Structure 1
Amino acid sequence: MLELKDVCFSIQKDGEPINLIDNVSIDIPRGHFMAIVGPSGCGKTTLLKTIAGLNEESAGDLIWNGRNLAEEKDFDPAEIGYVPQFSIAYDQLTVDESIESATRLRVKTRNVAELDNRIDRILEETGLATLADRPVKVLSGGQKRRLGLAMELVTGPHLLLCDEVTSGLDPRSERDIVRLLHQLSRKDGRSVISVTHSLAHLELYDSILVLHEGRVAYHGPPEGLTHYFSVDDMEEVYPQLAKQRSDKWQSSWLKHREAYYGKLEAKRQKQIEEGTLSVPDDVLKQKMSTSQALSEKLDEEPKPRRKKRSKSDTAPLDDPAGDDAIVREATELVPMPGVFSQFSTLLSRRWKIFFRDRGQVFLQLSILVCFPILVALFSDRGNENIKRFSDRQEGLLQQITEESMVKASYLSVGSAVSGIVMFQVVLLSLMGSNNSAREVAGERLIFEKEKFGGIRPSAYLASKVAFLGSLILIQSLWMAIFVQQFWKFPDGTDTGFLDHTVFLVMVNAAMTFVCLGISSLMKTAEQSSLLSIYLVGFQLPLSGAVLALPESIESITRPFISAYWAWSGSIDSMNPSYRNAIDAVTETSFQSADACHYLLAIHIALGLIASYIGLKRHQWD
């Protein structure tokens, strides 16, 4: 049973707390199907998120099967399913692949046969078996709602929360979804709570919760709704609500609460006797000795206040029980797969999505081909040999002419070589930005939903690092090898070209992971893309490789400019004569290759740290 006792959720406005949910007290038994209705802005979705733990209650208690979620352990990811308003599936995957991915990420199966059986059962249960091979992007609105439900059913949740899953559907599709939810509430004692704007098909629900300005105006059987509000039709309920303040409706409801709850309990007992409602109480109830042992075990551990959750805590639940509590053994909760299993599933899915996104594949191939060609176009000037002074003593005029030629050669070759290296560095920085600017922010809603379902941020980040790392190596090595065919890197040592290649890999990695950090911290893909573009745009002017910056600015900006450290490290790896030539065309000083390796490694580490912080942070809007 789920009990809400005087639950409040408030926000601060102009320094004053405002209750969006105000002293909500309701009981929802097992195997119950409840609708939350009310005018726009009355707090329906806010209440649902508070129940789920996405909003931390400001006051009151939420009790699940005798366990206070604020003081004891919160929902296990396998206990609860949450179907949001938005689609939680990738358009590039099929229905079957989407459910398989959700299952692999949230359920530890013993073998492929068990996995297939679970997927087939869910497909049949949600009426998606005939659509298993159909891509998500071609599904209708109603079919996507079914898919969202199917992806939440992989763990067999005992509490299913649905937020506006019938919104925007035609009447037939809406009725089909409500009927499906009704059927799901009749299996395994599952409680289903559905937020809806629609007042149609209310007869399919066991109870209706009417909210008005965050307060309970009514919670009882659907057949008592018109009588309670003194209206002839369901559609007249909302106008009737507006005729009286919410505190008046709340006071009225408290007077009639026990009578309507009595009707609900009588109706429930009748359904159990008729066999239309299956609540496995006898199987789930345990002896008081077991309950006492569980309670004592919990008492040994600290009980933190319920917080906004990322669902990353997947430890088995130990449920304390009272005289009439329903206690489940840990074996009833499906086990969560390990970090490596989640990582491999996420990485496999990411590559599958990448190769099915033709636009992204074409863009990556175009960049991979065109950018090195752009650098190669400037290779002729960089291949010129630097003129040197002759050993023969000539006349004064000859010496002046020779000195002028050598100086011109230094300027020409130095400028070309410096420009080619910086061109490579900046283009790889642009590739890095393109790699990851939208990588997390572009799928923010899906990631937040999967994190709620138990996906570990560490597994998610590791899959991104592995995927992006492959792109980094392909792009950087191809840039170095392709350009080397047209412009030979002027080695200062036997490993000069290798050092240069390492710097190209590191600057790409630095920009990729810094932009990944930006993408993880930003809420929208647009914000992340814009900030990443600005970051790349300032790499060239702030590097000082073209025009030297004032010392006061240079000392501040230089540590943050990846392009400078990659350029400087590559220049330091060159033949001394070429370093001197470049030194003649720029006032910007070079740093040692070791220092450049160190700074670029710091950029990479900071990007990864920012990424992890962004992934751990609750950003469900």
Structure 2
Amino acid sequence: MLELRDVTLFIEQGGDVKPLLSDVSAKYPRGHFGAIIGPSGCGKSTLLKVITGVAHGEEEGEVHWDGRNLMLHDFAPSEIGFVPQFSIAHEELTVRECVAYAMRLRVRGMHAEALREAVERILDEVNMTEFADRLVQVLSGGQKRRLALAMELTSKPPILLCDEVTSGLDPQSEDEIVSLLHGLSRSDGRVVLSVTHSLRHLSYYDSVLVLYKGVVAYQGPPEFLCHYFRCDDPHDVFARLELREAKDWGQSWKKHRQAFMESVTKEDFDKDDAGDKPDIDDELPAVADIEILPAGKETETLIDIEAEVQPQLDLPEEEPDGVPTPGILSQVLTLTERRFRMFSRNKVQILLQLGLILGFPILVAIFAWNGLPAITNQSMGLEQNIVEQLLEAKEFIVQASKVGSLVSGIVMFEVILLTLMGANNSGREIAAERLIFEKEKLSGLNPLAYILSKGIFLGVLVVAQSVWMGLFVSFVCSFPGDLLTQLLFLLLVNAAMTSVCLAISAWMGSAEQASLVSIYLVGFQLPLSGAVLALPAWVASLAQPFIAAYWSWSGILETLKAERYYEIVQMVIQTSTAPASLCLWVLFSHVVIGIFVAWLGCHRSRMA
């Protein structure tokens, strides 16, 4: 039994506390198919979030499941399924792959053969077998809704919450979805609650809950709905709601609910003539006009829904802890495999990465395609007169300035392009699939496993981009210094920007916002590094600790200490470099802090 007891939800808005739900009470026995209807903005979706435990705001009242207070003890991940209005499956995957990955992330110990059989059974249950090998991106709206249902059924949840899953569908698809939900409510003693604006299929439901501005105006069998609201068509209910204040509807239902539920039968309503119904000015409902049944008469009352449905169900054995969820390592491997598979099917992303990896090093190396210029020593000969010595010194300074600027510029160009690649790597990585992640987190996905899988995937990109950049520039330009240490600095600056932008992606509200902020961050790298123009001392002390480009540029230049180029570079740069060891530690801290902040962002719920 799912029971809501005087559930109230407050939010703070503009300094005022506003109730989104007020004293909502309802009961749903096992094997029940319930509709939740009401005008837009009345709190229907919010009510589902309260049940799932992801609503934002101050809650009062209690939600119970099989006698367990969910305000004190949450659902196990496998106990509840949530199907949102819009599809939240990865479009690069096939239907079968989506269901298989969902099961691998939610159910522990599934061997290959058992997994295959379970996936095929679920696809058959939702009538998606013939579409099993189709990519999600080519499915129709109704097919995507059935896929979403299939993914929720992988852990066999006893409660299935559906948020406007029939919205925007054609009549045939809507018929199929409602029929499917009705059938699911009759399997395994499952409670299925569906938020809907459509009243075409009321006969499928065991009960209808009417919400009006966060208040329960009615909850009972659909066949009694029109009688209660004194209308001839269910579609007129919303218009009737507008005739009274929400609090009046709530008070009226509280006052008459018990008498209404204990005294009426379907036969009584069949006898009632619409002309005998009271006017709207009378207090609703007119319980006195309803025939009171003699004591002991067997009835099919509203309050006896559970007794009617329960004996017909083949209920599973109680599993208070739910289906065991896979461990972190298993989830990491599953997520990593899925991410690489998605990447391999995204031709645009593959071409973009190839363009960045192959093209950016060419942009750097083109400035010294034939190698760095040789530096001519001053002869300092005594046979030269003062004019010749001055001219030679001037030529040396000009030459050294060009070479020093070239060396410093090549390093900074490498670093800036790698920060740009880092921003491109992860700026959209979490934000673009946030709804999918939140849904999977609700179903038992560990945020740490999610972040680790992102680290593995992005790490491969970082290594490929950074190592190729360093090797190509070193080979083409004959760049001096310790190559391995230089590769490490290039890798760390890329990893630092990738991690920081991953954190941005985890905290932004949309992929577009995250991408924009990430690009802005790259734009600040060059001017705030001080590599081109020296910053005022106070600005440098405040900005440079956060500018990864400075630490990579500085560290690479420090690897030239054994080379003559080091002195030449020091002659032209206006910003002092930091010790290589310090540069390594700062860049490493950027990576760690970025990943940690991304993990914190993933812990924060952002359910739409």
1:436-467 deviation per Cα after TM superposition (whole angstroms, max 9, x unaligned)? 00000111111111111110011000000000
The alignment partner of 2:23 has SS state of strand
Any conservation in 2 of the 1:381–1:416 contact (CA below 8 Å)? Answer: no
Counterpart of 2:446 in structure 1: which amino acid? R
1:524-573 deviation per Cα after TM superposition (whole angstroms, max 9, x unaligned)? 11111111111100111111111111112111111111111101111111
Counterpart of 1:115 in structure 2 is 115
Whole-Å Cα distance in 1 between the matches of residues 128 and 319 of structure 2? 30
The alignment partner of 2:219 has SS state of strand
The alignment partner of 1:78 has SS state of helix
Any conservation in 2 of the 1:217–1:253 contact (CA below 8 Å)? Answer: yes
Report how far residue 576 of structure 1 moved: 4.3
Counterpart of 1:379 in structure 2: which amino acid? A
Any conservation in 1 of the 2:92–2:342 contact (CA below 8 Å)? Answer: yes
C-alpha change, 1:587 and 1:271, in structure 2 (3 Å) is closer
Counterpart of 2:67 in structure 1: which amino acid? G
Whole-Å Cα distance in 2 between the matches of residues 258 and 359 of structure 1? 62
Whole-Å Cα distance in 1 between the matches of residues 13 and 354 of structure 2? 50
Return the match for 2:366 from 377, 382, 389.
377
Report how far residue 259 of structure 1 moved: 4.5
Counterpart of 1:264 in structure 2 is 302
Whole-Å Cα distance in 1 between the matches of residues 559 and 308 of structure 2? 84
Whole-Å Cα distance in 2 between the matches of residues 409 and 22 of structure 1? 79
Counterpart of 1:598 in structure 2 is 585
1:157-180 deviation per Cα after TM superposition (whole angstroms, max 9, x unaligned)? 000000000000011111110110
Report how far residue 70 of structure 1 moved: 1.3
Any conservation in 2 of the 1:31–1:279 contact (CA below 8 Å)? Answer: no
Whole-Å Cα distance in 2 between the matches of residues 54 and 267 of structure 1? 29
Equivalent runs, 1:327-346 vs 2, <5 Å: 328=319, 330=321, 333-346=322-335
Equivalent runs, 1:458-607 vs 2, <5 Å: 458-491=448-481, 496-574=482-560, 575-607=562-594
C-alpha change, 1:329 and 1:433, in structure 2 (3 Å) is closer
Runs of 5+ consecutive residues of structure 2 not aligned to the other structure: 263-300
1:357-407 deviation per Cα after TM superposition (whole angstroms, max 9, x unaligned)? 111111111111110111111014861112212263222222112211211
Counterpart of 2:603 in structure 1 is 616
Q: Percent identity?
A: 50
Any conservation in 2 of the 1:382–1:416 contact (CA below 8 Å)? Answer: no
1:287-343 deviation per Cα after TM superposition (whole angstroms, max 9, x unaligned)? xxxxxxxxxxxxxxxxxxxxxxxxxxxxxxxxxxxxxxxx5454xx32111111100
Any conservation in 2 of the 1:30–1:279 contact (CA below 8 Å)? Answer: no
1:342-366 deviation per Cα after TM superposition (whole angstroms, max 9, x unaligned)? 0000000000111111111111111
Whole-Å Cα distance in 2 between the matches of residues 567 and 159 of structure 1? 56
Any conservation in 1 of the 2:370–2:476 contact (CA below 8 Å)? Answer: no
C-alpha change, 1:260 and 1:82, in structure 2 (3 Å) is farther
Equivalent runs, 1:10-29 vs 2, <5 Å: 10-29=10-29
The alignment partner of 1:485 has SS state of helix
Return the match for 2:385 from 386, 390, 395.
395
Any conservation in 2 of the 1:220–1:260 contact (CA below 8 Å)? Answer: no
Any conservation in 2 of the 1:221–1:260 contact (CA below 8 Å)? Answer: no
1:146-201 deviation per Cα after TM superposition (whole angstroms, max 9, x unaligned)? 00000000000000000000000011111110110000000111000000011110
Counterpart of 1:447 in structure 2: which amino acid? F
Whole-Å Cα distance in 2 between the matches of residues 449 and 526 of structure 1? 21
Whole-Å Cα distance in 1 between the matches of residues 121 and 563 of structure 2? 70
Any conservation in 2 of the 1:422–1:545 contact (CA below 8 Å)? Answer: yes
The alignment partner of 1:160 has SS state of strand
Counterpart of 2:599 in structure 1: which amino acid? Y
C-alpha change, 1:201 and 1:153, in structure 2 (3 Å) is same
Any conservation in 1 of the 2:4–2:24 contact (CA below 8 Å)? Answer: yes
Return the match for 2:426 from 436, 446, 451.
436
Report how far residue 269 of structure 1 moved: 3.5
Whole-Å Cα distance in 1 between the matches of residues 535 and 508 of structure 2? 31
Report how far residue 499 of structure 1 moved: 1.2
Whole-Å Cα distance in 1 between the matches of residues 69 and 395 of structure 2? 85
Counterpart of 1:146 in structure 2: which amino acid? R
Whole-Å Cα distance in 2 between the matches of residues 115 and 16 of structure 1? 51
1:84-114 deviation per Cα after TM superposition (whole angstroms, max 9, x unaligned)? 1221211100000000010000011342111
C-alpha change, 1:247 and 1:337, in structure 2 (3 Å) is same
Any conservation in 2 of the 1:382–1:417 contact (CA below 8 Å)? Answer: no
1:367 aligns with 2:356: yes
Q: How many residues end up aligned between the 2 structures?
A: 567
Whole-Å Cα distance in 2 between the matches of residues 522 and 128 of structure 1? 35
Runs of 5+ consecutive residues of structure 1 not aligned to the other structure: 285-326
Q: What's the RMSD between the two structures over aligned residues?
A: 1.5
Whole-Å Cα distance in 1 between the matches of residues 331 and 153 of structure 2? 18
Any conservation in 1 of the 2:86–2:145 contact (CA below 8 Å)? Answer: no
Whole-Å Cα distance in 2 between the matches of residues 261 and 118 of structure 1? 42
Whole-Å Cα distance in 2 between the matches of residues 342 and 74 of structure 1? 22
Could you tell which deviates more after superposition, 519-528 or 55-64? 55-64
C-alpha change, 1:60 and 1:266, in structure 2 (3 Å) is closer
The alignment partner of 1:378 has SS state of helix
C-alpha change, 1:342 and 1:261, in structure 2 (3 Å) is farther
C-alpha change, 1:510 and 1:328, in structure 2 (3 Å) is closer
Counterpart of 1:323 in structure 2 is none
The alignment partner of 1:147 has SS state of helix
Whole-Å Cα distance in 2 between the matches of residues 416 and 16 of structure 1? 61
Counterpart of 2:223 in structure 1: which amino acid? E
Any conservation in 2 of the 1:429–1:563 contact (CA below 8 Å)? Answer: yes
Report how far residue 602 of structure 1 moved: 1.2
Report how far residue 618 of structure 1 moved: 1.3
Whole-Å Cα distance in 2 between the matches of residues 348 and 260 of structure 1? 56
Whole-Å Cα distance in 1 between the matches of residues 28 and 433 of structure 2? 34
Could you tell which deviates more after superposition, 236-245 or 12-21? 12-21
Counterpart of 2:571 in structure 1: which amino acid? A
Counterpart of 1:449 in structure 2 is 439
Any conservation in 2 of the 1:513–1:604 contact (CA below 8 Å)? Answer: yes
Report how far residue 40 of structure 1 moved: 0.7
Any conservation in 2 of the 1:410–1:581 contact (CA below 8 Å)? Answer: yes
Report how far residue 270 of structure 1 moved: 4.1
1:58 aligns with 2:59: yes
Counterpart of 1:40 in structure 2 is 40
Could you tell which deviates more after superposition, 228-237 or 250-259? 250-259
Whole-Å Cα distance in 2 between the matches of residues 338 and 161 of structure 1? 26
